[in-house]
C-alpha cells in the first residue's frame, strides 16, 4: 500500500463500526492517526470495539454524544449506512469537518488501479463476473474483490500490489463520501428508484451514483447501460471515455444481436451459454464483457468464464434439486425490481415463489404483471397480506402463508412436482425477521439441505 502521511498525528473520528468502520479505524491507526471510534452498540456487547481498544484506539460506545465534536478533529470517516441526517453528522457538517467513507481511504492508499461498479441492481453479479474473468486471464497478478460486496476496501487495498487490480462494488451511500476516488474503469449497471428514504429525492440518488466518474478523465473508461435514456443524458456530462452496452441496439461497445453477445464486431458467446438465468444477467454479462475487453482480455477467456459462471451467493443462486424440484436462493432481492428481474428468468407455470419481509409502507402493485401465470406463492413476514393482494390481482390461485423463509421450504416442496422450481426472491428487506439478507438466505439454504437429507434418509 502507499504509505501516505496525510493522517499522521491527526485526530480522526470513525463513526459507526461494522466491517468498514473496523477496517478504517485499523488503517488510520497504522497510518499514525489519533483515532476515536464512536459506535451506538454498548461496549460490553461490542467485540469489535473491544478489539480496537486493545490496539490502543480510543472507543466511545453506547451513544453518540454531540460534545465529541468539541475535539479538534481533522476528519470524520462515516459508516455508509449512517444517514447525513444523523445529529452527529449534521453537527460535523456545520463545523465544516470533512466527511468521507472508507472507500475513499482505500483509494488513497491503493497501489492497485480500481475497477468500480455501481448501479441499482446487478452490481454484485457484474462485479463478480469481472473478477472471475480477470483472474482467469492473469498469471502473475490478481484481481481482488472489494467494497460493498463484503470485503472492506481499505483492508483489500492494503495487500494489493501495483500489479494487481481492485474490482470494487460501490454503493450510493459509499460514493457520497468520496472526494478523490478515481477508478480507471467504472461501470453503471442501471438506475431505478431506490433508497429515497436515505437520499431524500431521485435527483440526489442519481447524483450520488454519478459521483463514480467525478475524477475520471479521457484516459479512463465509463461503461454505461445504454438501454436507459437518463444514463444516455448523464453521459453528456463526463470527462471519461464512454463505452456503452445495450440489449436493444448495436452500440460501439457491448451489445446483444440475434441472441449473441458481441463486443464491437466480435461475437463473444450466445445468450443461452451464460451460466446463470435471467434477462437481467444478459445486461450484467454485457457490462462485464465491455470491462474485460477494455482491460485487454481475449474473447475466448471472457466466453469460457461466463459459460462456467454459476452466480453469486444469495443472487439467483442455484442450490440444487430435491426429487427433481430445483431450488434457487435470491435473498438479495430486497426490492420489487430485483424480484421482477429474477422472475424473468423462469417459466412461471413451473415456478413457486417464496416472498415477503419488512413492511416499508409500499404496496406491491408494480409486481402484479410479473406474478401472472405463476404456479404458486408462499408468503411470510410483515408484507405477506399485501403480497397476497398483489398475487390475487395477478390471478394466482395457489397462495399459502408460512412463518419465515425456512418454513417456506417444506411448504413449497409439498406443492412442487417434477420439473418445478422453487425461488426465494423476497422483494423486501429482511429486517423484520433477520439481521440481514445473507442470514435469511443462509437459513433458507440450510432448510433446503435439511430437506434433502430427510428425503435421502427415507429412500
Residue 28 in grid coordinates: 488510520
Secondary structure E strands in 370-432: 376-379, 399-401, 421-424
Burial class of residue 154, CB neighbours in 10 A (0-12, 13-18, 19+): buried
The reply to whether 305 sits in an annotated binding site is: no
The reply to whether 341 sits in an annotated binding site is: no
The radius of gyration of the chain's CA atoms, rounded to the nearest angstrom, is: 23
For residues 360 and 59, what is the distance between their CA atoms, to the nearest angstrom? 33
- CB contact set of 27 (below 8 Å; sequence gap of 6+): 105, 109, 154, 155, 158
For residues 284 and 125, what is the distance between their CA atoms, to the nearest angstrom? 7
For helices 123-137 and 299-308, give the axis angle rounded to 10 degrees: 130
Residue 358 has phi, psi (to 5 degrees) of -65, 135
The reply to whether 121 sits in an annotated binding site is: yes
The reply to whether 159 sits in an annotated binding site is: no
- Specify the residue for cell string 482467469: 136
Are the CB atoms for 441 and 313 separated by under 8 Å? yes
The reply to whether 81 sits in an annotated binding site is: no
For residues 153 and 90, what is the distance between their CA atoms, to the nearest angstrom? 25
Instruction: Answer positive or negative: Cα dihedral of 46, 52, 55, 57.
Output: negative
Query: Dihedral through CA 381, CA 384, CA 386, CA 388, nearest 10?
Result: 170
For residues 77 and 237, what is the distance between their CA atoms, to the nearest angstrom? 29
The reply to whether 123 sits in an annotated binding site is: yes
Are the CB atoms for 203 and 239 separated by under 8 Å? no
For residues 2 and 206, what is the distance between their CA atoms, to the nearest angstrom? 32
Under the phi-then-psi rule, with left for phi > 0, alpha for psi from -120 to 50, and beta for the rest, what region is 228? beta
Instruction: Answer positive or negative: Cα dihedral of 16, 22, 25, 28.
Output: negative
User: Strands of 325-329's sheet, edge to edge?
Assistant: 317-322, 325-329, 421-424, 351-355, 376-379, 399-401
- Specify the residue for cell string 491503493: 110
The reply to whether 124 sits in an annotated binding site is: yes
SS3 per-residue string spanning 60-106: EECCCCHHHHHCCCCEEEECCCCCCCCHHHHHHHHCCCCEECHHHHH
Binding site members for ATP:
119-125
Binding site members:
119-125
Amino acid at each position: 500500500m502507499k504509505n501516505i502521511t496525510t493522517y499522521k498525528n491527526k485526530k480522526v473520528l470513525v463513526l459507526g463500526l461494522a466491517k468498514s468502520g473496523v477496517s478504517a479505524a485499523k488503517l488510520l491507526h497504522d497510518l499514525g492517526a489519533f483515532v476515536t471510534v464512536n459506535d451506538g452498540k454498548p461496549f460490553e456487547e461490542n467485540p469489535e470495539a473491544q478489539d480496537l481498544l486493545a490496539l490502543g484506539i480510543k472507543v466511545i460506545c453506547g451513544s453518540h454524544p454531540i460534545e465529541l465534536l468539541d475535539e479538534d478533529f481533522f476528519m470524520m470517516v462515516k459508516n455508509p449506512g449512517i444517514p447525513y441526517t444523523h445529529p452527529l453528522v449534521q453537527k460535523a457538517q456545520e463545523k465544516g469537518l470533512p466527511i468521507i467513507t472508507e472507500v475513499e481511504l482505500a483509494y488513497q492508499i491503493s497501489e492497485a488501479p480500481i475497477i468500480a461498479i455501481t448501479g441499482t441492481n446487478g452490481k454484485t453479479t457484474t462485479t463478480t463476473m469481472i473478477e472471475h474473468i480477470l483472474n482467469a486471464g492473469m498469471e502473475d497478478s490478481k484481481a481482488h474483490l472489494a467494497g460493498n460486496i463484503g470485503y472492506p476496501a481499505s483492508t483489500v487495498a492494503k495487500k494489493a500490489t501495483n500489479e494487481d487490480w481492485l474490482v470494487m462494488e460501490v454503493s450510493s451511500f459509499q460514493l457520497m463520501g468520496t472526494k478523490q476516488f478515481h477508478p480507471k474503469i467504472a461501470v453503471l449497471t442501471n438506475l431505478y428508484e431506490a433508497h429515497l428514504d436515505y437520499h431524500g429525492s431521485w435527483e440526489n440518488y442519481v447524483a450520488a451514483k454519478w459521483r463514480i466518474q467525478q475524477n475520471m478523465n479521457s484516459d479512463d473508461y465509463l461503461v454505461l447501460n445504454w438501454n436507459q435514456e437518463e444514463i444516455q443524458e448523464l453521459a453528456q456530462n463526463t470527462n471519461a471515455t464512454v463505452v456503452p452496452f445495450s440489449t436493444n441496439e448495436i452500440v460501439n461497445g457491448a451489445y446483444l444481436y440475434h441472441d449473441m453477445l458481441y463486443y464491437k464486431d466480435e461475437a463473444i458467446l450466445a445468450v443461452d451459454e451464460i451460466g446463470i438465468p435471467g434477462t437481467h444477467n444478459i445486461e450484467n454479462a454485457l457490462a462485464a464483457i465491455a470491462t474485460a475487453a477494455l482491460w485487454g482480455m481475449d474473447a475466448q477467456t471472457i466466453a469460457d468464464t461466463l459459460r462456467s459462471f454459476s452466480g453469486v451467493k444469495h443472487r439467483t443462486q442455484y442450490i440444487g434439486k430435491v426429487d427433481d424440484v430445483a431450488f434457487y436462493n435470491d435473498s438479495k432481492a430486497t426490492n420489487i425490481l430485483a424480484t421482477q428481474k429474477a422472475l424473468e428468468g423462469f417459466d412461471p407455470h413451473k415456478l413457486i415463489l417464496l416472498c415477503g419481509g419488512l413492511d416499508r409502507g409500499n404496496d406491491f402493485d408494480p409486481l402484479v404483471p410479473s406474478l401472472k401465470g405463476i404456479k404458486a406463492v408462499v408468503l411470510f413476514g410483515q408484507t405477506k397480506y399485501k403480497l397476497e393482494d398483489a398475487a390475487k390481482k395477478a390471478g394466482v390461485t395457489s397462495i399459502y402463508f408460512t412463518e419465515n423463509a425456512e418454513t417456506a421450504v417444506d411448504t413449497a416442496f409439498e406443492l412442487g412436482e417434477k420439473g418445478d422450481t422453487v425461488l426465494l426472491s423476497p422483494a423486501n428487506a429482511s429486517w423484520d425477521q433477520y439481521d440481514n439478507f445473507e442470514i435469511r438466505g443462509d437459513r433458507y439454504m440450510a432448510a433446503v439441505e435439511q430437506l434433502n437429507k430427510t428425503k435421502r434418509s427415507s429412500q
